[in-house]
Structure 1
Amino acid sequence: MVIQCNTLTVFELEEPSKAEKVSSLVENERVMFGDVSIDVMSIQYREGYTLQKLSIQHASGLAQTVIVTHICGLNWKEDQNPPKPATLLDAIDSIDIFMPENPPRRPKLLVHCRSGCTRSGMLIVLINCIERLRSKERIDIFRAVEDLRSLKSNMVNSQIMYKYIYDVMKFCASIFNSTYANLR
């Protein structure tokens, strides 16, 4: 899927036991998954997550090689506390770290967690709201969640999730020296 869709960033929100498997990759190592080879070009261990630059290619060599930013870990268990806002913001800021200068269009981002809607949904809403905050657009978290739910139901499905999104956005607003005027 990463190769077919030319995805340039994979954000993997896994629980600690699964994150340990991914963090066991070694720099300059080649790993095969069926007909797909993954070359680990670099690994950066950051507070709370691992940032990897991967080269992915189909073994046939017919498809082009895709360089992917892989953000993994965050030790974010499905039913427990999410990471600190500063850790999450740092991970979100890492999305573009290996991107080419001035890409012709916005690169595709693949976000996944075990259920495909809880942590993934929160992260997608946060990425969209942070982007709007940075561009000084009005932010409506309820609307952002509603728009996401129109594509997949059950995204951000509890009051705790909403509160976390609001808390992260308040933290972001304070970091960006922004007022809360555009945060609704």
Structure 2
Amino acid sequence: MEQSDWPTVGREWRAETGALSPAGLTSQLGLHRRENDMADVANQVANRIPTNLVVNGVRRTLDLVPWTTLLDALRDHLALTGTKKGCDHGQCGACTVLVDGRRVNSCLTLAVMTDGAEITTIEGLARDGALHPLQQAFIDHDAFQCGYCTPGQICSAAGLLAEGRAGDADEIRELMSGNLCRCGAYPNIVAAIQQAVGRP
């Protein structure tokens, strides 16, 4: 068979068998993907779960798809962007918030798991226009540089103080080890926590 006959043979074979040309196949696959995407969106809307949260003292009700993390609920649905998305894998601590007074990585916590819980973010620590003692201590000790990790550091430290476990500097370092500071402000962070807890 001559090479020039190949396209003709291909057309005849496709006509006889009903096979799609590469372009037709691509078009049909694209249509199938779009139909699947539309079905996925419809399912997501249908599968939303009403979730009640008390965030910084304010009761909020959100309709969320089940896989929405607490971090995304706070940032994307409530516009509380003080809580930072760092690694999104629970390794850096930038997303730390308090849930019923306990510090958690909000990137690893599904929002529906916290239904009915009291959540405190960095925006909720100050009271009546006065900074939380930890916020003031971080300023006093210059315990940040770029500031990206600072909300998580402060929320984690607030949880640490509430646990009554902030002892000496070594203990503070150990119990704050889940919060990373890429700028390396660790000595100042420890000093700030010691000031807030009333230890030199």
TM-score of the alignment, normalized to the shorter chain, above 0.5: no
When you count strand as a share of all residues, which structure comes out higher? Answer: 1
When you count helix as a share of all residues, which structure comes out higher? Answer: 2
Calculate the TM-score normalised by the size of structure 2.
Answer: 0.30
More relative contact order, 1 or 2 (CA 8 Å, 6+ apart): 1
